[in-house]
């Protein structure tokens, strides 16, 4: 076969097979995307979704993701100015499909005595809670020897006890309705612990255990429980993390800066919630390998972590 005839043959195949096949694949992908979008909208439209830590990062991205599906989003955090900014950003989307106006309610997770009142306020304003997303939290950077106990206590109060109090306050009416979904935004550090993150890892380990126990107990009441364990996400978490002295760490970690975008993370979380997954590990390759190592070759994991601690 001559080069010219080969070229003509290839052109014929592309014209009569390649183009139709390509168009067909594109059409299938487009229809799949539309089908997925309709499924998400059907599952979430009109749902009352409470998001703690909604003033920035993953919480803000979750607010956008749920609002776009027609959910009534309750934005909760300490910073009223930032919450109102997020609310205005949501409203300014001018979505063509029906949407519910977001609700802003101030919330300080460290003030445990006020958290039941926060849940009551949500019920008073919205009538119910369909999905409670315990996302608010604070991280830690510092060696155990140089971390004040007050730091351990604050991080445990915000990350763990705050989520526990909110969950316990929301549960009775969910059980009464036999409907509801509790979501805990943990971390891969709820599955593995690394040096210089002791307070943070401990709070996330506790959240992981509480979520597993809650899931088992709520099965009979038709309440879903999902524990999310993201890896590195490109947020200000390391900037706001507490140092051992209790001051802000104020440094952007390289791994955090190179992490998943909050929007990608929120989208995957939303899909996981709609599927009613029991857990989701959304992480880069190395943390996933480390989780596997911790469970299958613990002695190797201990050696690796000791080496890391010596370097820092």
Nearest to 282 by CA among 230, 244, 225: 230
pLDDT at res. 42:
87
Q: What are phi and psi of 86, to 5 degrees?
A: -60, -45
Active site residues: 200
Query: What is the Cα 311 distance to its own chain's centre?
Result: 30
pLDDT at res. 302:
95
Helix or strand run (H / E) with residue 286: helix 285-296
Task: Tell me the H-state helices in the chain.
Answer: 3-13, 19-44, 57-67, 80-91, 115-126, 149-156, 162-177, 198-218, 237-240, 254-257, 262-275, 285-296, 298-311
Where are the chain's structural domains?
1-44, 47-282
Q: Which CATH architecture has domain 47-282?
A: 3-Layer(aba) Sandwich (3.40)
Give the sign of the dihedral formed by CA 77, CA 78, CA 84, CA 89.
negative
HEC readout, 216-258 = HHHHHHCCEEEEEEECCECCCHHHHCEECCCCECCCCCHHHHC
Nearest to 46 by CA among 105, 143, 128, 165: 128
Q: Model-level pTM greater than 0.95?
A: no
CA distance 155 to 158: 5
Q: How far is CA 239 from CA 135, 139, 157, in A?
A: 17, 9, 20
CA distance 145 to 195: 11
100: which DSSP letter? Answer: P
* Residue 281, beta-bridge partner list: 229
Q: Give pLDDT tens digits along the chain (312 positions).
A: 555 555 455 565 555 565 565 455 455 444 445 567 788 888 899 999 999 999 999 999 999 999 999 999 999 999 999 999 999 999 999 888 888 899 999 999 999 999 999 999 999 999 999 999 999 999 999 999 999 999 999 999 999 999 999 999 999 999 999 999 999 999 999 999 999 999 999 999 999 999 999 999 999 999 999 999 999 999 988 898 999 998 988 888 888 888 899 999 999 999 999 999 999 999 999 999 999 999 999 999 999 999 999 886
CB 200 within 8 A of CB 188: no
């Amino acid at each position: 076969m001559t080069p010219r005839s080969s070229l003509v043959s290839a052109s014929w195949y592309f014209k009569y097979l390649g183009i139709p096949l390509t168009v067909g694949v594109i059409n299938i992908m487009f229809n799949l995307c539309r089908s997925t979008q309709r499924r998400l909208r059907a599952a979430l439209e009109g749902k009352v979704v409470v998001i703690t830590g909604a003033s920035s990062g993953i919480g803000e991205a979750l607010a956008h993701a749920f609002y776009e599906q027609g959910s009534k989003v309750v934005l909760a955090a300490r910073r009223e100015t930032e919450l109102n900014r997020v609310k205005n950003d949501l409203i300014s989307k001018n979505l063509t499909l029906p949407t519910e106006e977001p609700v802003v309610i101030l919330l300080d997770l460290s003030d445990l005595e006020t958290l039941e009142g926060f849940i009551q306020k949500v019920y008073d304003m919205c009538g119910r809670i369909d999905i409670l997303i315990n996302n608010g939290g604070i991280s830690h950077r510092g060696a155990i020897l140089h971390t004040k106990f007050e730091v351990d206590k604050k991080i445990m109060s915000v990350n763990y006890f705050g989520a526990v109090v909110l969950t316990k306050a929301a549960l009775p009416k969910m059980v009464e309705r036999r409907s509801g979904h509790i979501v805990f935004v943990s971390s891969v550090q709820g599955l593995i612990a690394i040096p210089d993150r002791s307070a943070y890892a401990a709070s996330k380990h506790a959240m992981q255990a509480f979520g597993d126990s809650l899931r088992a107990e709520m099965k009979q009441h038709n309440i879903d429980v999902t524990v999310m364990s993201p890896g590195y996400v490109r947020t200000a978490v390391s900037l706001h993390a507490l140092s051992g002295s209790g001051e802000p760490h104020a440094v952007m970690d390289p791994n955090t800066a190179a992490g998943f975008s909050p929007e990608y993370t929120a989208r995957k979380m939303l899909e996981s919630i709609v599927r009613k997954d029991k857990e989701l590990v959304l992480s880069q390759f190395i943390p996933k390998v480390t989780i596997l190592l911790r469970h299958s070759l613990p002695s190797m994991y201990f050696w690796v972590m000791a080496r890391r601690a010596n370097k820092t």
